[in-house]
Amino acid sequence: MSDLKSTVQLNNGILMPRFGLGVWKSSNTDAKNAVTTAIKHGYTLIDTAKQYGNETGVGQGIKEGLAETGMNRKDLFVTTKLFNGNQGYESTLRAFDGQLKRLGLHYIDLYLIHWPVDDKFIDTYKAMEKLYHEGKIRALGISNFDNERLAELLEHTDVVPAVNQMEFNPTNQEKDILAQANLEGIQLEAWSPLGGGDSLSDPTVLSLAEKYGKTAAQIILRWEYQRDLVIIPKSIHEQRIVENSQIFDFEITSDDVAKLNALDKSKRGLWYDDFKWHNPDGPWGDSVDKWDDSPANYAD
């Protein structure tokens, strides 16, 4: 029976949980509380990034969650991402050390390039390969890579990424990228899996929620689970954290899956048209999010 302990085997042989917690747009305090709560309720996959400005809070939440449950570090799967402004070979190595320190960890389970900054992501990934071979990272991955940039990465590096984390939800299903990921043996992971108001209020989603006696969010998350994705919905509220994970006691029929598949509009929330690929200081990801409770010094 599938549950929060369900995993997928990545292309390097390690197991990654299929369902986890995202913490984008969460302060350090909110991230700490959400992570602690999630671990208490059985989550083992935690996803953050330097850009989110909350790695310190996530690290504290991990520490408290493990203490409250009696679990060990090895029971969790922790993902973080390299900040765009840190891309480059030597700067990646320095940045990684800073991220480990903020998270209070000795290794990262999955380390992602947050965005493929042109002219830098190859050197960045080579630095990540070094960290991988040193055992500081259990799996390498990428985020927001289109097929063109994935092909360029594969041509110039040795370790095939284990994961590509992409925006994926009913209105943006990234069909070409999903197909290429499957072809290369790369696991697709969904950020913004609920797709915001457009997806949660869609008449088809609401009709299926009524049919199955589930929430709109649970319908979407179960559909993505059946599409073989890794899913990391974000919430800072305990009720929602628990509710989001309650998708393992029902199955959507193939006909209803097809109805959800048909909602695709390739509608991206923020994406390539808004990102200056050649410039790590482009309009997205140009700074680390600042919070009132952020550490005074967030430099690596």
| Each residue's pLDDT tens digit, 190-215 | 999 998 778 999 999 999 999 999 99
CATH code at 53?
3.20.20.100
Residue 15 sits at φ, ψ, to 5 deg, of -100, 135
Selection from 288, 218, 291, 299 nearest residue 260 by Cα: 218
**pLDDT over threshold 70, residue 84:** yes
Between CA 76 and CA 101 the distance in angstroms is 17
Q: How far is CA 273 from CA 116, 269, 270, 277, in A?
A: 14, 11, 8, 10
Say what the pLDDT of residue 176 is: 94
31 close to 48: Cβ distance less than 8 angstroms: yes
Alpha helices in the chain (DSSP H): 28-40, 55-69, 89-103, 121-133, 147-156, 175-184, 196-200, 203-212, 216-226, 238-244, 254-261
Selection from 62, 56, 69, 64 nearest residue 28 by Cα: 56
The arithmetic mean of pLDDT across residues 3-29, rounded, is 97
Q: Is residue 285 part of a domain?
A: no
Which residues form the domain of 248?
Answer: 7-274
40-79 residue pLDDT tens: 999 999 999 999 999 999 999 999 999 999 999 999 999 9
Q: Is residue 220 part of a domain?
A: yes
Q: Is residue 300 part of a domain?
A: no
Q: Is residue 292 part of a domain?
A: no
Q: Is 86 helix (H, G, I), strand (E, B) or coil?
A: helix
Residue 160 sits at φ, ψ, to 5 deg, of -65, 130
The residues annotated as belonging to the active site are 52
**pLDDT over threshold 90, residue 285:** no
Q: Is residue 12 part of a domain?
A: yes
pTM: predicted TM-score of the whole model, two decimal places: 0.95
Say what the pLDDT of residue 299 is: 72
Selection from 182, 190, 120 nearest residue 147 by Cα: 182
Strand bridging mode 77-82 / 108-113: parallel
Q: Which helix (H) or strand (E) holds 137?
A: strand 137-143
Residue 200 sits at φ, ψ, to 5 deg, of -70, -25
More confident residue, 58 or 267: 58
**pLDDT over threshold 90, residue 130:** yes
Q: Is residue 22 part of a domain?
A: yes
Q: What angle do CA 298, 20, 82 make, to 5 degrees?
A: 35
Percent of the chain residues topping a pLDDT of 90 = 85
Which pLDDT band holds residue 248 (cuts at 50, 70, 90)?
Answer: very high
Say what the pLDDT of residue 155 is: 98
Structural domain count, the chain: 1
**pLDDT over threshold 60, residue 165:** yes
Say what the pLDDT of residue 133 is: 98
Between CA 300 and CA 297 the distance in angstroms is 9
Between CA 188 and CA 163 the distance in angstroms is 6
Q: Is residue 287 part of a domain?
A: no
**pLDDT over threshold 80, residue 271:** no
Percent of the chain residues topping a pLDDT of 70 = 93
Say what the pLDDT of residue 118 is: 86
Say what the pLDDT of residue 266 is: 82
The arithmetic mean of pLDDT across residues 95-101, rounded, is 97
Q: Is residue 294 part of a domain?
A: no
Say what the pLDDT of residue 300 is: 76
